[in-house]
A = this chain, B = another copy of it.
C-alpha cells in the first residue's frame, strides 16, 4: 500500500471509527484501525466485537483530490497513537507507505514515523447482515428518541436485557422502551414503512446508543437502519455503524402502565423542574433521594424533602390544572429530574392512580413520549 492523503479528512474519519476501539481488550488486533486503500478511496474500520464502525473517504470530493492511491493494499495500525499523531502532523499532505512485515512509514513535512503495523488478514471480518428490512429516520429524530429513553435503562447487569433499549416496529410506528424496574421511558414516532412488513423487536445496548448518538451528524440527515436477527446496522453519510443486539426476552412492560387516572395535574415544566432540582439537592444528602409532592385545595402543589443532617426544603408551585382526588405521593427526585429534563414541552401532564401506583408523565397534548416513575411507599 502506498498513498498520499489529506490530513483533515483522514483525522475526521479516524475520530469517527475510534468510538469502536475498545479501551481494554486481550486481543491485540482490536487495538488497531484497519486501513484499506483502492482506487476509489480509503476505508477505515474499527471494532470491539460488539460495535463495528466503518468509514469511507472518497479519493475525490467536489472535484478536489483527497487521496492519491499509488499502490492499493491494507494494514492495521495502532489506533490510539495513530489518532493522536495524525492530528498533530505539521502538514496537510501525508504520505503513507506499507513495507515488509506491515511496517508503515508516515511522512508529513520533515516528520517521519515508522509504525509497527499488523496483518489485516487477522482483523475480524464485517458482521453479516441479511438485508431484509430497513427503515429510514432523520438523524435529529433518532438522537431525540435515544436521549429521551436511554437514561432509564438498568445499569445493574443482573438482567442484561434491561441494560438495552427495546425497539419495536409495529403499525408504521417505531417505539423505544427503556426500563430499570423503578422507572420506564418510552418514545414512539411514525416511520414510512409498508404495514405488512414484520420486523422483530430488538434490544439495542445502552453503550451502542450512546456511541451512536455521538457519531450521528449535527446536521439533519437521513439514517437507514437495517434489521437482522442478531445485528443492527446504521448507515449515514460514509459511515456504517454495526452493533450486535442483546440476547434475551424483554419483559412485558404494558401491564405496568395504568389505563386511567384518578388524579391529573398540569404544571409549568421549568418551575416544576427547578423545584425538584432544589429538593433533589437536599434529598441526596440523606442518600434516599425521596421527595414528597402534596396537592393543595388552592390549585397549588407543595414539593418538600428533608435530611436529618442538613435540614429541609419546602416550596409551593401554582398548578395550571388539578383534577380528581388530592394526593400526597413520594418518589425518587433523581428519576423525576431525569424524566423532566427530556420533556421538551413547556407544560407537563402528570397522571396518578393512587399514592401506591406509578406516576405517568407526558408533555401536554403529546402522547408520543411517556415517562413512568414508581412511587416510594412512605409512612405519611
**CB–CB B111/A285 < 8 A:** no
Interfacial residues of chain A within 276-327, with CB under 8 A of chain B in the complex: 277-278, 281-282, 285, 308-317
Contact of A88 among B81, B89, B278, B316 (CB under 8 A): B278
User: A81-B281, A281-B84, A282-B85 given as contacts; is B317 within 8 A of A110 (CB)?
Assistant: yes
A221 smallest CB distance to B (angstroms) = 34
**CB–CB A285/B81 < 8 A:** yes
Residues of B contacting A282 in the complex (Cβ-Cβ under 8 angstroms): 81, 85, 113
Quick one: closest B residue to A316, CB to CB? B110
**CB–CB B310/A115 < 8 A:** yes
Quick one: closest B residue to A278, CB to CB? B88
Number of interface residues of A (CB under 8 A): 34
Residues of B contacting A114 in the complex (Cβ-Cβ under 8 angstroms): 311-313
Interfacial residues of chain A within 65-124, with CB under 8 A of chain B in the complex: 78, 81, 84-85, 88-90, 103-104, 109-116
Question: How far is it, in angstroms, between the C-alpha of A113 and the C-alpha of B306 when the chains are bound?
Answer: 10
User: A110-B315, A110-B316 given as contacts; is B85 within 8 A of A116 (CB)?
Assistant: no
Interface presence of A274 (CB below 8 A): yes
User: A274-B88, A274-B90 given as contacts; is B112 within 8 A of A314 (CB)?
Assistant: yes
A32 smallest CB distance to B (angstroms) = 11
Interfacial residues of chain A within 244-284, with CB under 8 A of chain B in the complex: 274-275, 277-278, 281-282
Residues of B contacting A103 in the complex (Cβ-Cβ under 8 angstroms): 311
**CB–CB B310/A111 < 8 A:** no
Contact of A85 among B78, B90, B278 (CB under 8 A): B278
Quick one: closest B residue to A108, CB to CB? B315
A211 smallest CB distance to B (angstroms) = 24
Quick one: closest B residue to A31, CB to CB? B309
Question: How far is it, in angstroms, between the C-alpha of A84 and the C-alpha of B110 when the chains are bound?
Answer: 52
Quick one: closest B residue to A105, CB to CB? B311
Quick one: closest B residue to A84, CB to CB? B281
Interfacial residues of chain A within 109-144, with CB under 8 A of chain B in the complex: 109-116
A100 smallest CB distance to B (angstroms) = 14
Quick one: closest B residue to A81, CB to CB? B310
A271 smallest CB distance to B (angstroms) = 9
Residues of B contacting A84 in the complex (Cβ-Cβ under 8 angstroms): 281
Question: How far is it, in angstroms, between the C-alpha of A311 and the C-alpha of B112 when the chains are bound?
Answer: 11
Residues of B contacting A89 in the complex (Cβ-Cβ under 8 angstroms): 278
Contact of A313 among B112, B278, B313, B315 (CB under 8 A): B112
User: A90-B274, A274-B88, A274-B90 given as contacts; is B281 within 8 A of A113 (CB)?
Assistant: no
Residues of B contacting A312 in the complex (Cβ-Cβ under 8 angstroms): 113-114
* With A103-B311, A113-B312 already in contact, 16 other A-B pairs whose C-beta atoms are closer than 8 Å: A81-B281, A81-B310, A84-B281, A85-B281, A85-B313, A88-B278, A88-B281, A89-B278, A110-B315, A111-B275, A111-B313, A111-B314, A114-B311, A114-B312, A116-B309, A116-B311
27 A-B pairs with C-beta separation under 8 A: A81-B282, A81-B310, A84-B281, A88-B277, A88-B281, A89-B278, A104-B311, A109-B315, A110-B315, A110-B316, A111-B275, A111-B278, A111-B313, A111-B315, A112-B314, A112-B315, A113-B311, A113-B312, A113-B313, A113-B314, A114-B311, A114-B312, A114-B313, A116-B308, A116-B309, A116-B310, A116-B311
